[in-house]
Amino acid sequence: MEAQGGNRLSCGTICLKYLLFLFNILFWLAGAAVLAVGVWTLVEKSDYISLLNSSFYSASAYILIAAGVIVIVTGIIGCCATLKEMRALLIVYLVLLICIFLLEIIAGVLAYITYQECFPFCYQLDEELRQNLKVTMQQKYKQSGEDDVTQAVDKLQQEFKCCGSYNSSDWRDCAWIQEPLNKRLVPDSCCKSPGDLCGLRDHPSNIYKVEGGCIMKLEEFILSQLYILGAVGIGIAFLQLVGMMFTCCLYQNLKEEPY
């Protein structure tokens, strides 16, 4: 009977090892996905973020990258602890899981609260940031040494199908539009079908005049991303509860396993 009990315990331990190993693979993949989102945000959306002249949003991308790296490292530790049946390393892994779990819950709740406070009622990031985008467009667009701003504004207007910060009339006070040799009323990137000198006409059939300003579209994008990240963070955090349970069971089985 003792031998049979030992075999059952050994079978349970092997099953737990495989379950925890599978969890760690999924956990590692989740970390890689978070890391990829952070890198993608910096590479693809950094131009838009730079127009807001705020370090908060770029810091968010770096936080995602750091979180992804931590999750990947934690997953590797979990795999090593599971395969090598190292109880001390399992404790380290469990502590890391608990820390990440708490951070994800806090971050998810804060993201959800921020989303609820802003959307859909206030529709604003900050008035200073809103004004900064308008001033940046008016004073730096197509100016010498401001190629990055010009490219970012053109990309913003085309991708979000918008014109100006608040609306297309913002371009009337633009330094480049007011130049004597320039006959355009808006940049060519405001056009629904972009082409050279298409900005000579600002009729709604030609440009994004009634679709709203870019700041509104940018706010919607950031707030939607905030909501998604918060929901994903909380979802992954609760998934980690399963990993914690497997870790505790495996640790207990290894402690009781006869050698």
Query: Per-residue pLDDT for the chain (259 aa), expressed as one digit of tens each?
Result: 344 444 444 676 778 778 888 888 887 887 787 788 778 777 776 677 667 666 666 666 677 777 778 888 888 888 888 777 788 888 888 888 888 777 777 766 665 665 555 544 444 455 666 778 888 899 999 998 888 889 989 999 999 999 998 889 999 999 999 998 888 999 999 999 988 889 999 899 999 998 888 888 887 777 776 666 666 667 777 777 877 887 788 777 776 555 4
Question: What pLDDT does residue 111 have?
Answer: 58
In a domain, 90, yes or no: yes
Please choose, from the candidates 258, 12, 231, 241, the residue with its C-alpha nearest in 3D space to the C-alpha of residue 115: 231
Tally of domains in the chain: 1
Place of tokens 């075999």: 7
β partners of residue 191: 207
Q: Each residue of 200-244: pLDDT tens digit? A: 998 999 999 988 888 888 877 777 766 666 666 677 777 778 778
Please choose, from the candidates 120, 199, 208, the residue with its C-alpha nearest in 3D space to the C-alpha of residue 168: 208
**CA–CA distance, 167 with 186 (Å, rounded to integer):** 11
SS3 43: helix
In a domain, 89, yes or no: yes
Within 13 Å, how many C-alpha atoms sit on residue 215's CB side? 23
- State which residues form the domain around 180: 11-253
Specify whether the CB–CB gap between 103 and 48 falls below 8 A. no
Stated pTM of the model: 0.66
Rounded (10°) angle between helices 147-159 and 127-140? 120
Question: What pLDDT does residue 163 have?
Answer: 94
Write out the two tokens for 149: 């701003």
Question: What pLDDT does residue 166 have?
Answer: 87
Rounded to 5 degrees, φ, ψ at 69 are -65, -45
88 C-beta neighbours (distance < 10 Å), count: 9
DSSP 183: -
Question: What pLDDT does residue 60 have?
Answer: 66
181 C-beta neighbours (distance < 10 Å), count: 4
SS3 194: coil
**CA–CA distance, 248 with 239 (Å, rounded to integer):** 15
In a domain, 182, yes or no: yes
